[in-house]
Amino acid sequence: HAKRIGRNNYQFYNQHIGGLTKNTLEMASLLHRALQYEEFSLHYQPQYRADTEQLAGFEALLRWHSPQLGQVSPADFIPLAEENGLIVPIGEWVLRKACETNKKWQLEHGVFVPVSVNLSLRQFYQQDLVQRVADILFETDLEPQYLILEITESIAMQEDAAARILHDLRKLGVCIAMDDFGTGYSSFKQLRYFPIHQLKIDQAFIQDLDSDNGEAIVGAIIALGHNLGTEIVAEGVETEAQAVALKRLGCDLLQGYFYARPQPEEAITDLLKIRT
């Protein structure tokens, strides 16, 4: 606790000097009210099958529009929400909203693809995560195979606990994706013990595809994942050349600006209308 107080003092001291630390404090206090004031929304980014280019799923991505700060990037506010625990109620809102929307697309457009939701570390280790997920699926009437939970390699800090939670989620029938694969640590050990359905190759590797050894590394990740029975998703696909290379390497799903940007629910609904 002393550490926290120390840190706050440091920030207080600094607010007279630079904008950055002051902004962090201000952002933290605004974040506390953001749920209540309905400042959050979800964008959805389509994923496509590499072989047929058919729609294969959506990733739900959180957006925060603060009247005071404007649009704030999740890269800035998620770490803050993680630190002060707000990520738990926020994450629950994301889960419910994503499941609700996916159910709506099923009912109104006959589109049956999974929605992927990012789980933060703290959310993953919250007391009753499995029960909460079960409750949300029940309330929104979404079948579990239409929900994919994205975790990162960081959950393996407590390997046994993580394996237990993942197996319980699996029993529930939801799918698990390992996000940002290749950037964390001890990846191989986890792959042996964790029930993982999808590996998402981090976009850094996709950007490096055209560099020396770039294809060799992505090809090795794809082969590894396939040997372990997982599906491979490439994220951050920005160019046609990347898409072509990924198809040739046998990647299963493609996600990135080259195909579609993350978009508000209404824009996706329009896209589904055109499609059907």
Q: Name the site residues for Mg ion (rule: CB under 5 A).
A: 118, 150, 179-180
DSSP structure class, residue 60: E
Question: Does the protein bind ligand C2E through residue 114 (CB under 6 A)?
Answer: no
The interface partner of residue 209, options being ligand C2E, Mg ion, none and the CB cut-off 5 to 8 Å by kind, is none
78 binds, among Mg ion, ligand C2E, none (CB under 5 to 8 A by kind): ligand C2E
Task: Mark the segment that binds ligand C2E (CB under 6 A) among 46-54, 73-81, 129-137, 186-194.
Answer: 73-81
Half-sphere exposure of 91 (CA within 13 A, CB side): 25
For residue 153, the surrounding DSSP H or E stretch is: none
Q: Which is nearer to ligand C2E, 32 or 273 (CB)?
A: 32
Among 91, 111, 130, 265, binds ligand C2E (CB under 6 A): 91
**Cβ-based neighbours of 144, under 8 Å, separated by 6 or more:** 137, 172, 173, 174
210 counts as binding ligand C2E under rule CB under 6 A: no
SS3 236: coil
| Rounded CA separation 2/92 (Å) | 30
**CB-based burial, 152-180: b 16+ in 10 Å, e otherwise:** bbebbeeeeebbebbeebbeeebbbbbbb
Place of tokens 């998703």: 233
Q: Segment near ligand C2E (CB under 6 A), from 25-33, 160-168, 217-225, 232-240? A: 232-240
92 binds ligand C2E (CB under 6 A): no
The dihedral formed by the CA atoms of 269, 136, 177 and 246, expressed in degrees to the nearest 10: -10
Among 74, 182, 184, 250, binds ligand C2E (CB under 6 A): 74
Binding of residue 94 to ligand C2E (CB under 6 A): yes
Q: Note the residue count of the chain.
A: 276
**Which residue is listed with tokens 């925060």?**
64
CB of 16 to ligand C2E, least distance (A): 31
Binding to ligand C2E (CB under 6 A) within 141-160 occurs at 150
Q: Does 182 bind ligand C2E (CB under 6 A)?
A: no
Binding to ligand C2E by residue 209, rule CB under 6 A?
A: no
Give contact residues for ligand C2E (rule: CB under 6 A): 45, 61-62, 73-75, 78, 91, 94, 118-120, 150, 179-180, 203, 235-238, 256-257, 262
